[in-house]
Chains A and B, each alone.
Chain A
Amino acid sequence: MALIAPHGASELRPLIVNDARRAELEAEALTLPSMMVSSAAAANAVMMGAGYFTPLRGYMNRADALQWPKICKPLTACFGPFPW
């Protein structure tokens, strides 16, 4: 029985890492500059980690953040058939 396909992808793309990668990142982070993110940005990270925001790969840039409202009017003209 096939479940409904994820959004914009054939399978979920959770951004959570496995234990081995987590250990690498924890070590790397000790050498990196760090910033405490806003609660909203943290919530976005959790949703991307948990697969809910598939297929996003990370935080959007300015153009992406503005695109749907700004460019796509009417929206159907901007988004043709989906390639996935």
Chain B
Amino acid sequence: MQTADGLFWPVPVVNLAESCPVEAGQRLALTDPNREGHPLLAVMTVDAIETLSDDDVATILDKVFRTDDPEHPGVAAFSAQGRTVISGPIEVLNYSYFEEDFPDTFRTAMAIRAEIAERGWERVVAFQTRNPMHRAHEELCRMAMEDLSADGVLIHMLLGKLKSGDIPADVRDASIRKMVDLYFPPNSVMVTGYGFDMLYAGPREAVLHAVFRQNAGCTHLIVGRDHAGVGSYYGGFDAQTIFDEEVPEGALALEIYRADHTAFSKKLDRVVMMRDAPDHSPDDFVLLSGTKVREMLGQGIAPPPEFSRPEVAEILMAYYQEIDGTTAS
């Protein structure tokens, strides 16, 4: 593997199992746990079969997740796998359920590069999301585009199996596409997605995000507060400072765009980055909690236009009212 030759790679990319059914040097069929009937996903030539020691596991948890708390969802997912490391080259047959479940949104890095080239973009900013986008996110993309003189924004959604409370992909996509159609100039935004299991590794995952956005042809990645974090495991800007502290110079060609939370300022009558408004108190911003927004949408009450575009709110309200089984009067 090239990592042993000095390739910079931020997280272990491993196949961990309880045991390996073949010996080193043999071929192994890998089947898909996430599709019905567990069809073939890849074929592997097994180079080595090794075991992670307790120390190895502790090292990985500490470096990747900065915690060994079993309550951390990334730690829990990692620890639920076996300790046998089955390594070697693979050939991949398909993109699991992602193509079928998200046909309008799932894109390979190859397809995104091709489309960027076709659009004639050179400076491209990636925006990571897995949720609908409200004004704060929309304006953040616009700020990054302007500050970086970028040709376009790649909205790049994490696609995956739904958890309870998640908005279905089609609803989320429709609301994002509506926002792009109405509020961005033509040929300035691409709406796409990729299939991965989120690690919730915060800073380390932000670096992984940077690596694979570079592979998708992006020159910049927006990294905001608590990027890819969960709970209170990471400091607000750890996902930015890791690029200074732990990424060797020259290891990445992509640069990050360092963002803070954005919100609508009643004083300035526009969305601002909160760090740029040090004289503001929380009351000077239009701030709504996720729970509050969810409640309002379910009751058919549109959040204020400073928070959500009305056309976006309309799509989300229709969805929530349907699942709540209520109708707005």
Contacts and interface: CB of A to CB of B under 8 A. Distances in A.
Contacts of B122: 1-3
Contacts of A63: 4
Given A33-B22, A46-B196, A64 B108 contact: no
Contact of A75 (B12, B197, B246): B246
Contacts, number: 281
Interface in A29-76: 29, 32-70, 72, 75-76
Chain A contact residues (Cβ within 8 angstroms of B): what range?
Answer: 35 or more
B60 A65 contact: yes
23 contacts: A4-B253, A6-B215, A7-B8, A7-B215, A16-B94, A17-B92, A32-B22, A32-B29, A38-B16, A40-B197, A42-B41, A43-B197, A47-B194, A49-B93, A49-B95, A52-B212, A53-B13, A55-B2, A57-B2, A59-B44, A61-B1, A76-B248, A76-B249
B4 A46 contact: no
A33 to B, nearest CB: 4
Interface string B103-133: 0000011100100110010100000000000
A29 B31 CA distance: 10
B109 A58 contact: no
Interface of B: 1-4, 6-10, 12-17, 20-22, 26-34, 38, 40-45, 47-48, 50-52, 56, 59-60, 62-64, 77-78, 80-81, 85-96, 98, 108-110, 113, 116-117, 120, 122, 194-197, 211-212, 214-219, 246-254
Contacts of B90: 15, 45, 48, 57-59
